[in-house]
Chains A and B, each alone.
Chain A
């Protein structure tokens, strides 16, 4: 499979806190992230608030240039693709449908904005395409002349999806597409996203802190912590065998519907570290229950094994042990016949 979008050591820093009396400090929101998403995949991106998910999303959308590294879209550097072409191929769906729709424009105007910006078709053709896409996202055509304030949250999110898909993009980046919606509406929107993928063959990057949503939709999951991808695997094995201690804690903290169990204990005792001043070594070590002495001094290197990635000293040591054992077994079996 060829990658539709790929980041290579993409990095984004912000200068913050500059004032008359204080020099600016650097905040690394996204720290050398390498990701690749194949056509037709749904990549789930999970992590706490403030871990850099949304910054990464903005970079992938072409709204925020990386300060280092590069982003390739279909093999081409994303930021060398002209603005309009990029916009035609990559589209966002935002979290809050109450702020993602211009309150002064009708639904038809909002959905036809991409068509008008790209100069697609005559006004009558645009009208037709708007009607088509409204049908596709399951919104009655009679809403075309209404304003966003007349629609419910779920309907608004359908409008946002219609706007994102009206140009038939290849990649859609969904930033928490359901977290602002009522629970009863969430599943409708998620199923709609899945149907549209079948219908239009789009690739999704799904950003969420809701693990249930990710488990339901994603084919592959990347876990982000303080600007780094700490684990990345196909959905099933990530949920069955989480390797990174952070992933394990995340999965344990999911609320269960069984009433007797109560609220799970968070194993993340220490508060989220300040991203301006990240911990030394492995940035997760102050909160990690298995932290080794070397974790606080030495940053782990990512360990890649057939399609999955994990960045943890424990995994590295285990791999090293297994490697040694295998080598020992090799020499043992190799020695025997002699």
Chain B
């Protein structure tokens, strides 16, 4: 509630302003007061900025091989130089450039997959929750079928059939990872649908489309955003796993999972080859997850009312 400071000489206007703030203001305040969200948000923003400005961050081209400069250690290890701050890989490609361009791939896959599966899941979940009855039964059946399929195995099977490529990976994951959206949106919609403002809109004569889009959807969007952040992290990890197994993004594209796979042989004597993309991957997934946690903390209290 309002922080009752300086009431003594408050005018009517001040009291007005000291009233409960608007939902937007409340959200902004909670956001800035949430330490985990702020820190993870900054990290995530840095990674995104790095990915967008990749040519500026990395001095080298990530695809140019230099076989005379193979496996140069990073600058903080013995034998490293500032010419290649993170060293070079087994084909002499600049590791910093590959990590930076790899962020592009990871983010692209994470965001596109979450977007695609989010749309599928939201449409299914909201229709199941809003219409109920037979539509709900059918959608729940589809959901049960989808949940009975192990994602990694199906993804492996499909990718090995159609061949690994960036588009194939995004399509497969986008068509597979909608289950959590559907479950969450369905139950959130069921809750909102039972509220009187939906009945009031119906009594006013509003069309079903208007009720769903203007009354229901804005009130379940919080949940969608929370699930979406977790699914971005999920997709990034899954892509890394697929690429590690050789069925995801194909070389020479710089994907972090692929870089870990390529570094496998050097694990014993040049562990940094694996550790660097590993740290990048963990940092990104951690940041995305923490932002998701923060969004949930910031958005959820309003639903609890």
Residues of A within 8 A of B (CB): 58, 61-63, 83-84, 86-88, 90-92, 94-96, 98-105, 113-114, 117-118, 142, 146-147, 149-150, 160, 163, 167
| The residue from A62, A100, A104, A146 contacting B200, defined by CB atoms under 8 A apart | A100
Q: Name the distance in Å between B2's Cβ and chain A's nearest Cβ.
A: 10
Category for how many chain B residues contact A: 20 to 34
Q: Please determine whether B215 and A146 come into contact, CB atoms closer than 8 angstroms.
A: no
- Indicate if B29 sits at the interface (CB-CB under 8 A): no
Extra inter-chain contacts (4) besides given A96-B196, A99-B196, CB under 8 Å: A102-B218, A103-B302, A117-B206, A117-B207
Chain B residues whose CB sits within 8 angstroms of the CB of A147 once the complex forms: 22-23
> Are A150's CB and B20's CB within 8 A?
yes
Nearest B residue to A58, CB-CB: B199
Q: Are A99 and B22 in contact (CB under 8 A)?
A: no
Pick the contact of B206: A98, A105, A113 (CB < 8 A): A113
- Residues of the B chain whose Cβ atoms lie less than 8 Å from the Cβ of A86: 205
Asked if residues A87 and B23 are in contact (CB atoms below 8 Å), the reply is no
Contact B219 A102 (CB under 8 A): yes
Kindly provide the distance from the CB of B36 to the nearest chain A CB, expressed in whole angstroms: 25
Are B196 and A100 in touch, CB under 8 angstroms?
A: yes
* Interface pairs (27), CB distance under 8 Å: A61-B203, A63-B202, A84-B205, A88-B205, A91-B203, A92-B200, A94-B200, A96-B196, A99-B195, A99-B196, A100-B197, A100-B199, A102-B197, A102-B201, A103-B302, A104-B23, A104-B218, A105-B218, A117-B205, A117-B207, A117-B210, A147-B22, A149-B20, A149-B302, A150-B21, A163-B200, A163-B204
Interface centre among B22, B197, B199, B206 (most CB of A within 10 A): B197
Q: Which residue of A lies closest to B206 (CB)?
A: A117
Asked if A150 and B200 make an inter-chain contact with CB atoms under 8 angstroms apart, the answer reads: no
Give the total number of A-B pairs whose CB atoms are below 8 A apart. 73
* Whole-angstrom distance between the Cβ of B218 and the nearest chain A Cβ: 4
Shortest distance in angstroms between A313's beta carbon and chain B's nearest beta carbon? 39
What residues on A are CB-neighbors of B204 within 8 Å? Answer: 87, 91, 113-114, 117, 163, 167
Q: Which residues of A contact B197 (CB under 8 A)?
A: 99-102
Which of B21, B199, B205, B218 is packed against the most chain A CB atoms within 10 Å? B205
Chain B residues contacting A100 (CB-CB under 8 Å) are 195-197, 199-200
B68 interfacial contact with A, CB 8 Å: no
A98 to B305 Cα, complex, angstroms: 10
Chain B residues in the interface with A (C-beta under 8 A): 16, 19-23, 195-197, 199-207, 210, 215, 218-219, 302, 305
Complex formed: what's the CA distance from A104 to B219 in Å? Answer: 7
Contact of A118 among B199, B202, B203, B205 (CB under 8 A): B205
Q: How far is the CA of A113 from the CA of B201 in the complex (A)?
A: 8
Closest partner residue, chain B, to A84 (CB atom): B205
Contacts of A102 in B (CB 8 A): 197, 201, 215, 218-219
Residue numbers in B under 8 Å from A94 (CB-CB): 196, 199-200
Say whether B20 contacts A87, CB under 8 Å: no
- Most B Cβ at <10 Å: residue of A58, A86, A102: A102
- Contact partners of A118 in chain B: CB under 8 A: 205
> Is the CB–CB distance between A63 and B199 below 8 Å?
yes
Chain A residues with Cβ under 8 A from B215's Cβ? 102
In the complex, which residue of chain A has the Cβ closest to the Cβ of B303?
A103
Q: In the bound complex, how far is the Cα of B210 from the Cα of A147, in angstroms?
A: 20
Alpha-carbon separation in the docked complex, A90 to B305 (Å): 30
- Nearest-neighbour CB distance to chain B for A28, whole angstroms, equals 21
**Cβ distance B191 to chain A, nearest Cβ, rounded Å:** 11
Point out the residue from B22, B199, B210 that lies within 8 Å of A150, measured CB to CB: B22
Residues of A within 8 A of B219 (CB): 102-104
